[in-house]
Amino acid sequence: MATKKTSGRSHGFKHKSRQVMTKDAPRGVSFMMTEYNVGDRALVIIDPRQHKALPHRRYHGKVGTVKEVGRRSVKLDVKLGDKTKTLITRFDHIKPFGV
């Protein structure tokens, strides 16, 4: 009789993200009125009220440089360790840096 393997834990996309993904205050629409240009710096702040284009929690609080701006999305170059990652996200999840 074979012994049963122990099942491992789940390590999904939102694993260990309760603190980051919790917001209770309502959000206005002023974030949509902010214009970003190529070369601007933006702060990645995850907004759990918008599930589309949600960045991974490792990018929360990181500063990136705007690479491309679309109608609803933005591409950022984010430095992570000694690599530069391209992050595609919505305007809900970023704020202008240093303003």
Q: 83-90 and 94-96: which strand pairing?
A: unpaired
31, exposed or middle or buried, with CB in 10 Å at 0-12, 13-18, 19+? middle
**Would you say residue 87 has pLDDT above 90?**
yes
Q: What is the pLDDT at residue 9?
A: 78
pTM above 0.75, yes or no: yes
Q: What is the pLDDT at residue 96?
A: 95
Radius of gyration (C-alpha) of the chain in whole angstroms: 17
* Residue 6 pLDDT level (bands cut at 50, 70, 90): confident
- pLDDT tens figures, 8-59: 778 888 888 888 888 888 888 888 889 999 999 999 999 988 889 999 999 9
Please compute the mean of the pLDDT values over residues 55-82 and round it to a whole number: 95
